[in-house]
Amino acid sequence: MYYLGIDIGSLSSDAVLIDRDETVLATSVVPTGARNQEAIERATNEVLQKSGLTKDRLAAIVSTGYGRNRVTDRLCAVTEITCHAKGILAFYPQTRVLIDIGGQDSKVILLDADGKVTDFAMNDKCAAGTGRFLEAMARALQVDIDEMGELDKGAQAGLTISSMCTVFAESEVVSLIANGTPVKEIVNGLNRSIASRTVSLVKRVASDLNGYAVAMSGGVARNNGVVRAISEALGGVSVLVPELPDTVGAMGAALIAKERSGG
């Protein structure tokens, strides 16, 4: 029996296929684009192809993410909060604080010693500091988003990007470029501004980290610079990042699929 977890986010749709031993057989990350039905199909087909299985071998599908209710043949839809919490424990069972920064949401989830969600906080009012924010900044800097994670290396770390609004931050970045500010300093400033927002969310659920293990999931966790900045802003706490941080939500969904279908 096989179990599929699928996470339809605003930027990417991710799928994870596991077997009854909870071994990951295949993962897939595809852009969501304008039509999430297509993204759902593509992500599903990709994992099936990679694992050489056909859809009828799936015992259950659980969906998560903003498009979770668009997955028609699901067993159930579960929120990203529960799925990310469940998923991260498969990689780091000691996690007590999970930071998840996705395309338009950032959230911090507090887990108890049994892995249950005891509190969570999400970004409010706007999507500053999320994946879309970073995308806009990469565009302004004319760099590839995937390169951005290393571009802050060697920065003096003194620059502050004061605008939280994506549009204003973008024009701030453009003026900094025009003034000849080195890219590494700008990237570092952006990373630290995301970190400071994230740490406020962390403090909302855990005013004192008490030695808790902190992990990070979501597409932004692929950006080492942001992870480093968050770690520094948390006072040097190391932040655990799984190899494929985008797929943590889908992994959680796959595990829930197994659990709820009696697998």
Partner 1 sequence: MMMEYFEQLEDGLRKAIASGQASPRKIYSLEVARLGKRLYSGTNRVAWCGITAPFDLLGAMGITSCFVEFIGAMLASTGAAGEFIEATEHIGYSSDSCSYHRAVTGAAIKGLMPEPEFLIGTTNPCSGGLAVIENLAAHFKKKLFVLHVPQDESGKNVRYFADQLRDMTAFITDVTGITPDPEKLKMAMTNTNRTRSILAEIYDLARGLPSPVTSKELSNFGIVMALFLGTEEAVNVAEAYRDEFKHRLAAGATGRPKEKFRLLWIQNRIQFKNPIEKLLEDEFGARIVIDELNDITWDPIDLDDIYGGLARRSISIPFNGTIEKRVSHLRKLAKAYQVDGAVNPCNWGCRQGTGARGLIEDGLKEIGVPVLNLEVDCVDSRKFTEGQFRTRLEAFVEMMESRK
Q: Which residues pair with 17 in a beta bridge?
A: 4, 26
Ranges assigned E (strand) in 139-229? 213-217
Residues 203-242 touching partner 1, rule: CB under 8 A, are: none
User: Are 75 and 54 spatial neighbours (Cβ–Cβ below 8 Å)?
Assistant: no
Question: What is the CB neighbour count within 10 angstroms for residue 147?
Answer: 12
* Identified binder of partner 1 from the candidate list 4, 81, 128, 206, rule CB under 8 A: 81
The least distance separating partner 1 from the CB of residue 40, rounded to whole angstroms, comes to 16
- Window 98 to 157, contacts with partner 1 (CB under 8 A): 105, 116-122, 124-125
Task: Check if the beta carbon of residue 138 is closer than 8 Å to that of residue 148.
Answer: yes
CA dist 263 and 259 (Å) reads 6
- Which one, 76 or 157, has the nearer CB to partner 1? 76
Among residues 90 and 122, whose Cβ is nearest to partner 1?
122
Q: Which residue, 50 or 204, is less far from partner 1 as judged by CB?
A: 204
To the nearest whole angstrom, how small is the minimum distance from the Cβ of residue 157 to partner 1?
30
User: Could you tell me the smallest distance in angstroms from the CB atom of residue 81 to partner 1?
Assistant: 4
What is the total residue count of the chain?
Answer: 263
As measured in angstroms, the least distance from the Cβ of 107 to partner 1 is 9
Stretch that binds partner 1, among 43-51, 72-80, 129-137, 219-227 (CB under 8 A): 72-80
Smallest gap from Cβ 197 to partner 1, in A, equals: 14
* Chain Cα centroid distance, residue 169: 22
Q: How far is the CB of 239 from partner 1 (least distance, A)?
A: 22
| Contact pick of 25, 26, 78, 169 for partner 1 (by CB under 8 A) | 78
Task: By CB under 8 A, name the one of 7, 14, 19, 80 that touches partner 1.
Answer: 80
Tokens of 261: 């279908």
Q: Applying CB under 8 A, what is the total number of residues that bind partner 1?
A: 16
Rounded to 10°, the helix 80-91/248-260 angle is: 100
Q: Give the list of residues 6+ apart from residue 39 with CB closer than 8 angstroms, or none.
A: 8, 13, 30, 31, 32, 33, 67
Residue 28 and residue 12: Cα distance in Å, rounded?
10
Residues that bind partner 1 (CB under 8 A): 66, 78-82, 105, 116-122, 124-125
